[in-house]
Structure 1
Amino acid sequence: MGRADRRGGGILTAPVRRCAGCGERAPQRDLLRLALVEGRAVFDRDRRLGGRGAYVHPDPACLERASRRGGFARAFRARVTSAPQALDSD
């Protein structure tokens, strides 16, 4: 489970991230994290790899759109040489 933080008024909120494919904001727990390893975007299932992460919905359309439209490069702020083509890729 993600760490919750306190915002004004004592309300606990979950971390929110933006999908690199569709651009919608969603709770971090609802998105898949990818990390950049030697120029390649790889799934970070345990959310332990270092560096900036990119997040996508568990939807093939979001993954494809992020790869095709430069969403991963924008999220990583770096050049991406390859990205997973399917949700079950490593």
Structure 2
Amino acid sequence: MEVKELPLRKCVSCGQMLPKNQLFRLVKTPEGVQLDKSYKAQGRGAYICKSKSCLDNAFKKKSLNRSLRQAVNEEVFNILYTELENDR
């Protein structure tokens, strides 16, 4: 039986390639930037590691803004930090 490979995605903060289930996916929608827990939402998406250092780095260097081509407000980062704490 053939083993199915997990799709790899690149973190916008550190550039590391990881399976997409180990990353947060943010998606740009007409309503704004949202966390996509299903990994299937329509719209421009960006992936970021589930680590505090990557979130801090992305906030400081505005790498999510660049990837999504839209300003990501602080509320989105607060949601990501909350999700990070809940995952542990």
**TM-score normalised according to structure 2 size:** 0.69
Cα 1:41–1:60 change in 2 (3 A) is farther
Conserved 8 A contact 2:9-2:17: yes
Q: Give the 3-state SS of the residue equivalent to 2:77 in structure 1.
A: coil
2:70 to 66, 69, 79: 79
Q: How many residues align?
A: 79
Q: 2:24–2:48: 8 Å Cα contact kept in structure 1?
A: yes
Per the TM alignment, residue 27 of structure 1 is displaced from its structure 2 partner at its CA by: 0.8
C-alpha deviation, 1:38, in angstroms: 4.4
Q: Which residue of 2 aligns with 1:33?
A: 25
Residues 80 and 38 (structure 1), Cα distance of their counterparts in 2 relative to 1, 3 Å cut: farther
Q: Is the 8 A contact 2:65 2:72 kept in 1?
A: no
Q: Does 1:22 align with 2:14?
A: yes
Specify the code of the residue in structure 1 equivalent to 2:71: V
Aligned to 2:41, what secondary structure does the other structure show? coil
Q: Unaligned stretches of 5+ in structure 1? A: 1-9
Same amino acid, percent of matched pairs: 24
Report the RMSD for the aligned CA atoms in angstroms: 2.4
Structure label with greater radius of gyration: 1
Question: Any stretches of 5+ residues in structure 2 without a counterpart?
Answer: 84-88
Q: Cα distance, 1:32 vs. partner?
A: 1.1
Greater share of helix: 2
